[in-house]
Amino acid sequence: MSFEIRQKDLLGRIGKLSTKRGNVETPLLLPVVNPNHQLIPAQTLRNDFGFEGVITNSYLVWRRFRNEDQVQDIHDLIKFDGVVETDSGAYQILQYGDVEVQPSEIIKFQERLGSDIAVILDIPTGDLVSRERAKWTVDETLRRADDAQKIITRRDILWVGPVQGGAYPELVTHSAREMAKRDFAIYALGSPTPVMQQYRFDVLVNMIMAAKMNLRPDKPVHLFGAGHPMMFALAVALGCDIFDSASYALFARNGRYMTSQGTMKLEDMEYFPCSCSICHGKTPEHVRRMLLSDRERFLASHNLNSCSAELQTIKQAIVDGRLWELVESRSRNHPALQRAFQTVLQYAKELETETPIRKKKGPFVISSESLSRPEVQRYVNRLAERYSPPKTKTVLLVPEDALKPFSDDPTQDSWVRDAEKKHDFHICLYNLAFGIVPFELVDVYPLSQTEHALTPTTTAVRYSKKQMVDYLKRTNYSNCVFAASESWQVKIGKSLQTALKSKMKVKRIKVNKSFAEVTKLLERQRVKQRIT
């Protein structure tokens, strides 16, 4: 087995997973195929919908063929020539409490089936259980993982080590750390299904991060039971590589139409917001008049297309370095996703560590939440850790608009240098996105490449002021000239006078939005001489 990471953004990655049946690309969705009944034939999932792999339940196959000496290869049994993952019956334990098969027996049975990816029989934690019960599921799953590694004989199968602990992050952390010590090809987060069904995506974020931060980064992570396109971007951004779900068929059975914005009921729809090959040329009324079986097949087919399209969108966002923008926009689609996104902001440091330093395109800062994105956080941290200002007594803080766009005027750089030399000033810009920007850094990525649409909300102004105060407190300036053109800038200037009064003299000047106006004002008022 090999897992090659080709592209990264946030904790999300595009990878190539090698199996004995061939390579598959991650992020990867494995549609659930019922071995006894297929609403959409398994091979159709590959030929018509482009799914490279599926997942089926080896426990259900075992119940059907357990007394037979010979068992068909799982690929022949479900008639699928791509990659097949087999689950072990843990879902039935979660639903019904127990299964009659032994952990060692189902491992040997999966080896007989010739699975490409196989899961040991773990004990799901589930939801709304006591901490004592949750800890037992973690300990028992780890014990079974140890037993499994003594029993496994087929090393060409990619074996999955599940992480348990449920909604107890400290138990998930412990489970992940211990499971990472076991040599499994893939790790999986178990028991998220009840949390996702209740739209508790904020809890899911903590579960994923507790696992992800303690698993090996060179191995893929499978999020069991995740199959709705509205939450794929969130899960991928947090480092999940593989998904599986029967939602496409279950939702179809209940007359539900899946989109990346959420779920719609067919009975309430007048138009299809999708132009996939399934929906093109059809209306909801037309579909409502179909026979029940045809209607289910139509909805299931659309749901698969919706899932596939969202994964393609996510992959392109990773390539472009725009996964943050996608997650932030998807978080606007449902209050539960917005709560989850607010939880994601608590992991800004972890996301920054894993995000590439340079990207093809500059970031968009579109809200106060965007201030937690890796590019912004990295700049703030590195300005504090790695930047040394020139040995000048006076700093001139100029609004961003006075020197923007930075690259459009080739004479501007020498203009600023001359002004700095003439007045013995160090010139810095300030804005709502990055706080303070020394002029010599304006062309460094991502400063001049960033587009922001921030308005002077209380949060944005407070953030900008904090960055300026922190920067000025670290320096040896004796004087600060603060140029302001708008009311929120004047407000920041007054705050700087209060916050820095024991360190330096701060003088506010009112200017128009042009650097020429700033320099003329400096000439006329002889600011330097007056404040020194």
The residue extents of the domains of the chain are 3-247, 364-531
Contact 506, 496 (CB under 8 A): yes
Contact 134, 165 (CB under 8 A): yes
How large a percentage of the chain has pLDDT more than 70? 92
**CA 450, CA 364: separation in Å to the nearest integer?**
6
pLDDT at 527: 45
Whose tokens are 């009324």? That residue is: 285
Confidence of residue 528 (pLDDT cuts 50, 70, 90): very low
| Strand runs labelled E in 235-304 | 242-245, 256-259, 262-265
Give 406's contacts (C-beta < 8 A, 6+ positions apart). 412, 442, 443, 448
Angle between helices 131-151 and 169-180 (to 10 degrees): 10
Q: Tell me: the pLDDT tens digits for 241-289?
A: 999 999 999 999 999 999 999 999 999 999 999 989 999 999 999 999 9
Contact 446, 363 (CB under 8 A): yes
| Catalytic-role residue among 48, 73, 81, 87 | 87
Mean predicted confidence (pLDDT) in 164-187: 96
Contact 356, 52 (CB under 8 A): no
The vertex-442 CA angle with 438 and 444, nearest 5°, equals 115
Q: Tell me: the pLDDT tens digits for 361-412?
A: 889 999 999 999 999 999 999 999 999 998 888 898 988 876 554 445 555 5
Catalytic residue status for 146? no
DSSP classification of residue 32: B
End-to-end CA distance of the chain: 69
pLDDT at 2: 87
**CA 326, CA 15: separation in Å to the nearest integer?**
19
Q: Tell me: the pLDDT tens digits for 311-345?
A: 999 999 999 999 999 999 999 999 999 999 999 99
Mean predicted confidence (pLDDT) in 197-205: 93
Q: Tell me: the pLDDT tens digits for 95-153?
A: 888 889 999 999 999 999 999 999 999 999 988 899 999 999 999 999 999 999 999 99
Q: Tell me: the pLDDT tens digits for 482-527?
A: 988 889 999 999 999 999 998 999 888 877 655 566 666 555 544 4
Does residue 214 carry a pLDDT above 70?
yes
Q: Tell me: the pLDDT tens digits for 22-49?
A: 999 999 999 999 988 899 999 999 999 9
386-395 exposure pattern, b = at least 16 Cβ within 10 A, e = fewer = eeebeebebb
**CA 94, CA 88: separation in Å to the nearest integer?**
12
Whose tokens are 């028991």? That residue is: 191
User: pTM here?
Assistant: 0.91
Does residue 11 carry a pLDDT above 50?
yes
Do the domains at 3-247 and 364-531 have one common CATH topology? no
Strand partners, 426: 395
Query: Where are the alpha helices (H) located in 346-401, listed in sequence order?
Result: 348-354, 374-386
Q: How high does pLDDT run on average in the chain?
A: 90
Q: Which of 373, 434, 439, 431 has its CA nearest to residue 399?
A: 431
Tell which CATH architecture fits domain 364-531: 3-Layer(aba) Sandwich (3.40)
- CATH code matching the domain that covers 3-247, chosen among 3.40.50.720, 3.20.20.105, 1.10.150.120, 3.90.1200.10: 3.20.20.105
Task: Enumerate long-range contacts of 74-77, CB under 8 Å, 24 or more apart.
Answer: 74/113, 74/114, 74/115, 75/21, 75/114, 77/35, 77/113
| Cα–Cα distance list, 504 to 79, 329, 472, 476 (Å) | 77, 42, 9, 9
